[in-house]
């Protein structure tokens, strides 16, 4: 890697020969190491995406073969008011709840964890641990134990101490308590991961910045947080927002396990799952997947433009 540090002109002067020999030697090794991964990626990711693209222009009922070309009909069907647009609305509500909450809570906890001096490792592990739990398992714990709708549910037991009647958390429509269940299970599961991201970001901030601020008369607390910590965390914050939003787009497990195929709250992936796997309508399923993928790409690019994710600081 010394060549990297050599000035470009010098590198050129030293000669192209050794470098070419190096790359010739590296090529087989590159393919050897990357080959299996790339093959997997092509076979299990890119091919299905390409096939989905083809199917999305076809009527594919109970078949995954492109037999009957229907042009843009599948896309038109999905984009007229109906369950798919409703599912995007559900996603919007979900994202509006979950993204800001996750962002604020994980930042807050990360700042606290960063300042703590006793039992650091313990507290960090304690917050990170739920990340290791599966969405399916957590959903079942939430459904059967914590937010069980009858008298032996944990939440209802606590509320009964205050004389509150049993609440059917997942069945109640007015008010829609199921959002509480859905939001808390995801917060519990994903906070730890974003805390780690913020912690890493916090540890990259040079202590000298704070010292200089104190010398200039800044007060510890909100002032330094607002003018030093937050700006320094810009890249991390954008990454957290972006990952969080994409994760929200891809929400499936908790909705599927807690609510099933319920039109009350059915995010896009759950709708598409039931369209393709339940109704065996792979044409509409594929078209929906394409629309969703397009939306995610669009939002990512837009966020890039606004926040400059990946741009050098």
Residues engaged in binding another protein (CB under 8 A): 43-44, 47-48, 51, 61-64, 82-83, 134, 136-137, 140, 144, 148-151, 153, 166-174, 253, 256-257, 259-264, 274-275, 277-281
Per DSSP bridges, beta strands 68-69 and 58-59 are antiparallel
Helices (H) and strands (E) in the chain, counts: 17, 2
Query: Residue 59 — φ and ψ, nearest 5°?
Result: -85, 120
Nearest distance from C-beta of residue 208 to another protein, angstroms? 48
d(CA 191, CA 184): 10
Nearest distance from C-beta of residue 128 to another protein, angstroms? 22
Nearest distance from C-beta of residue 256 to another protein, angstroms? 8
d(CA 79, CA 205): 46
Q: Which of 51/103 has CB closer to another protein? A: 51
Query: Residue 47 — φ and ψ, nearest 5°?
Result: -60, -50
CA distances from 199 to 102, 110, 208, 225 (A): 14, 5, 18, 14
Q: Which of 86/307 has CB closer to another protein? A: 86
Question: Would you give the DSSP letter of residue 167?
Answer: -
d(CA 287, CA 295): 12
The helix (H) or strand (E) run that includes residue 69 is strand 68-69
Sign of the Cα torsion 270, 172, 152, 132 reads positive
Contact 66, 53 (CB under 8 A): no
Contact 181, 147 (CB under 8 A): yes
Contact 235, 201 (CB under 8 A): yes
Q: Which of 197/281 has CB closer to another protein? A: 281
Q: Which of 127/271 has CB closer to another protein? A: 271
Nearest distance from C-beta of residue 160 to another protein, angstroms? 11
d(CA 138, CA 144): 10
Q: Which of 169/194 has CB closer to another protein? A: 169
Nearest distance from C-beta of residue 209 to another protein, angstroms? 45
Q: Which of 169/198 has CB closer to another protein? A: 169
- Classify residue 251 by burial, with Cβ atoms within 10 Å: 0-12, 13-18, 19+: buried
Q: Which of 6/61 has CB closer to another protein? A: 61
Nearest distance from C-beta of residue 70 to another protein, angstroms? 11
Nearest distance from C-beta of residue 96 to another protein, angstroms? 20
Nearest distance from C-beta of residue 300 to another protein, angstroms? 24
Q: Which of 45/116 has CB closer to another protein? A: 45
């Amino acid at each position: 890697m010394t060549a990297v540090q050599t000035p470009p002109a010098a590198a050129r002067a030293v000669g192209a020969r050794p470098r070419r020999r190096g790359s010739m030697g590296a090529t087989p090794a590159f393919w050897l190491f990357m080959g299996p991964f790339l093959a997997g990626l092509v076979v299990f990711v890119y091919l299905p995406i390409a096939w989905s693209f083809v199917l999305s222009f076809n009527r594919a009922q109970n078949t995954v073969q492109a037999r009957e070309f229907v042009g843009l009909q599948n896309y038109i069907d999905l984009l007229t008011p109906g369950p798919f647009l409703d599912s995007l609305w559900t996603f919007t509500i979900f994202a509006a709840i979950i993204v800001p909450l996750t962002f604020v809570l994980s930042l807050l906890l990360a700042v606290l964890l960063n300042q703590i001096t006793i039992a650091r490792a313990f507290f960090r592990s304690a917050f990170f641990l739920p990340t290791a739990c599966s969405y399916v398992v957590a959903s079942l714990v939430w459904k059967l134990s914590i937010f069980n709708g009858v008298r032996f549910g944990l939440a209802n037991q606590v509320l009964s101490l205050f004389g509150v009647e049993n609440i059917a958390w997942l069945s109640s429509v007015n008010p829609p308590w199921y959002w509480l269940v859905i939001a808390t299970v995801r917060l519990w599961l994903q906070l730890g991961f974003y805390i780690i991201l913020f912690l890493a970001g916090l540890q990259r901030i040079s202590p000298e910045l704070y010292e200089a601020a104190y010398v200039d008369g800044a007060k510890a607390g909100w002032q330094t947080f607002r003018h030093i910590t937050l700006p320094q965390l810009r890249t991390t914050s954008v990454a957290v927002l972006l990952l969080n939003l994409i994760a929200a787009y891809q929400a499936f497990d908790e909705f599927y396990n807690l609510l099933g195929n319920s039109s009350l709250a059915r995010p896009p992936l759950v709708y598409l799952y039931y369209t393709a796997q339940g109704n065996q309508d792979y044409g509409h399923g594929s078209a929906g997947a394409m629309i969703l993928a397009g939306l995610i790409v669009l939002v990512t690019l837009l966020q890039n433009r606004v926040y400059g994710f990946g741009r050098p600081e």
